């Protein structure tokens, strides 16, 4: 049976009342101490935990992490209302109006043929109707600084690409990667730590560019490789444990052989 609006409203009201009590003079000392700046890191952490749960595919975990994230957002809304900045209803009304405005093919008379046209309309409305770049006219103003570096790099280079600042062919990007790798080798040879850090960053940015160029998500690609590394090393630990060893007590050659075994099993 589908949940009714009244059930949803009742659950929403109970959660808000819980937050109000936590922030009240007789509430929780720790919750009363929290500020907007504190909430930023909690919201980020909960978002990552929700993403993990989605990738794991566990409905129970997704439900729990969605609840945690919803709590943090409502908690921040309550702090903002206490400060007299805005109310929860303001947030809901604003986002509702925005979604209606950005879907003229659903709520208006605009006709679209495909998803690409929908995306183009969305960006056009942001830019020309909502004036999202009015702050300074900067191309990258709407790309959050707090995004993970790889994700931010891909969004920044995508934005530059849309105004024509891009390579023409993937081979040109590969040549740039080779150039940056040579520069990194030179800085390592010169034992210049500052230059080495800079060249590592340049090389990573070039790798993000090739990811974008071939329609791959750099953040997702690295995340998948990290998971693969963890799986393979876990295999090493498991097999070493069967031999009465741990990684610290094993030779590199032994671990390399087990690593190759793990690769073959994949």
| Residue-by-residue DSSP string for 37-77 | HHHHHHHHHHHHHHHHHHHHT-HHHHHHHHHHHHHHHHHHH
Confidence of residue 1 (pLDDT cuts 50, 70, 90): very low
Range 37-54 average pLDDT: 92
pLDDT, residue 147, reads 86
Say if residues 205 and 153 touch (Cβ distance below 8 Å).
yes
pLDDT score of 135 more than 70: no
- Decide whether 5-93 matches 148-216 in CATH topology: yes
User: 244 — alpha (psi -120 to 50), left (phi > 0) or beta?
Assistant: left
Q: What is the pLDDT of residue 247?
A: 94
pTM (2 d.p.): 0.67
Q: Which residue has the tokens 């010169």?
A: 190
Q: What would the pLDDT profile of 119-128 be if each residue is shown by its tens digit?
A: 999 988 988 8
Q: Angle, nearest 10°, between helix axes 252-265 and 218-242?
A: 120
What's the CATH number for 5-93?
A: 1.10.287.1080
User: Exposed/middle/buried for 168, CB within 10 Å: 0-12, 13-18, 19+?
Assistant: exposed
From residue 195, give the alpha-carbon distance in Å to each of 184, 202, 215. Answer: 8, 10, 30
pLDDT digits (tens, 9 = 90+) for 193-249: 999 999 999 999 999 999 999 999 999 899 899 999 999 999 999 999 999 999 999
| 95-122 mean pLDDT | 94
pLDDT score of 137 more than 70: no
Q: Residue 182 pLDDT > 50, yes or no?
A: yes
* Annotated domain spans of the chain: 5-93, 148-216, 220-265
How would residue 21 be classed by pLDDT, with cut points 50, 70 and 90?
very high
CATH topology of domain 148-216: Helix Hairpins (1.10.287)
């Amino acid at each position: 049976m589908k949940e009714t609006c009244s059930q949803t409203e009742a659950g929403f009201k109970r959660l808000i009342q819980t937050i109000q009590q936590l922030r009240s003079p007789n509430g929780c000392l720790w919750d009363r101490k929290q500020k907007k700046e504190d909430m930023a890191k909690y919201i980020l952490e909960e978002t990552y935990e929700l993403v993990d749960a989605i990738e794991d595919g566990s409905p129970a975990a997704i439900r729990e992490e969605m609840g945690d994230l919803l709590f943090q957002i409502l908690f921040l809304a309550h702090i903002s209302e206490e400060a007299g900045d805005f109310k929860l209803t303001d947030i809901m009304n604003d986002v509702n109006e925005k979604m209606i405005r950005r879907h003229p093919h659903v709520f208006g008379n605009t006709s679209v043929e495909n998803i690409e046209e929908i995306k183009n309309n969305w960006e056009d409305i942001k830019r020309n109707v909502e004036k999202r770049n009015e702050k300074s006219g900067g191309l990258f103003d709407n790309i959050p600084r707090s995004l993970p570096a790889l994700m931010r790099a891909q969004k920044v280079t995508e934005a530059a690409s849309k105004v024509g600042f891009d390579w023409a062919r993937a081979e040109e990007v590969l040549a740039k990667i080779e150039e940056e790798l040579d520069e990194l080798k030179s800085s390592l040879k010169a034992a210049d730590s500052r230059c080495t850090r800079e060249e590592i960053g340049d090389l990573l940015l070039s790798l993000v560019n090739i990811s974008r160029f071939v329609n791959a998500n750099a953040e997702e690609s690295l995340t998948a490789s990290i998971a693969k590394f963890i799986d393979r090393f876990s295999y090493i630990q498991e097999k070493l444990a069967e031999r009465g060893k741990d990684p610290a007590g094993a030779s590199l050659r032994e671990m390399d052989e087990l690593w190759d075994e793990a690769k073959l099993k994949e």
